[in-house]
Amino acid sequence: MDNKVVVTLARAFVQSGWRAIRFNFRGVGGSAGTWDEGRGEVLDALAVAAGLCEPVRPLALAGFSFGGHVASHAATSLQPQRLVLVGPATASFEVAAVPAHALVVHAEADEVVPLQATLDWARPQSLPIVVVPGGSHFFHGHLPLLKSIVLRHLAAPCL
C-alpha cells in the first residue's frame, strides 16, 4: 500500500474528488493471513468495499501490477463507475476482462510484466492501452506522467 505507484494513484483519485482507501493484501506488511494466489486477495478487496461506513456510489477501483489482477476480478462483482489498471500482472495471472471504459496504463519497458502480455490480454477485448514511452514497471521518472494520464481519465465524462 506504500508503493509509489499505488500512492500516485491514490493521490490522483483524491485530487479528482474521490475518497481513496489503500490497504495491504493478506500477509503483506502487518496484515493477517497468507498469500492466496489471488483468490483470497479478491475477497480482501470485496471486503474492503463492503466494509465502507456508507454505501459508496459511484465507486472506483484501481490496481497496480498484482493489484490490477485483483481489481479486474473485484470489478466483475462491484461494477465500478471507474476502473484503472496500471501494469496489470497479465503475464503471471489470469486478469479478468474489463469494461470498455476502463483505463489500462502500461510502461513500454516494463521489466516485470512485458508490454506484449498486456497487449495480448487486451486484444480480444478491443481494449486500448495507454503506453508510457520508456517507462519501467515502477514508472521511475514517469510518475508525474502517470498521474496526469489518470487525472485526465477521471475528469472525462463517465460512459
Share of the chain above pLDDT 70, in %: 89
Per-residue pLDDT averaged across 123-133, rounded?
A: 98
* Distant-in-sequence contacts of 47-56, Cβ < 8 A, 24+ apart: 48/21, 48/23, 49/74, 49/78, 52/21, 56/19
Total domain count, the chain: 1
Range of the domain at 16: 4-155
Residue 47's pLDDT is what? 87
> What are the tens digits of pLDDT across the range 66-122?
999 999 999 999 999 999 999 999 999 999 999 999 999 999 999 999 999 999 999
CATH number for position 80: 3.40.50.1820
Edge-to-edge order in the sheet of strand 82-86: 60-64, 82-86, 103-107, 130-132
Write out pLDDT tens, residues 37-68. 667 789 888 888 887 756 656 889 999 999 99
pTM equals 0.91
Residue 70's pLDDT is what? 95
Q: What's the chain's average pLDDT?
A: 90
What number of other Cβ atoms are within 10 A of residue 104's Cβ?
25
pLDDT for 1: 75
Query: Cis bond leading into 58, ω under 30°?
Result: yes
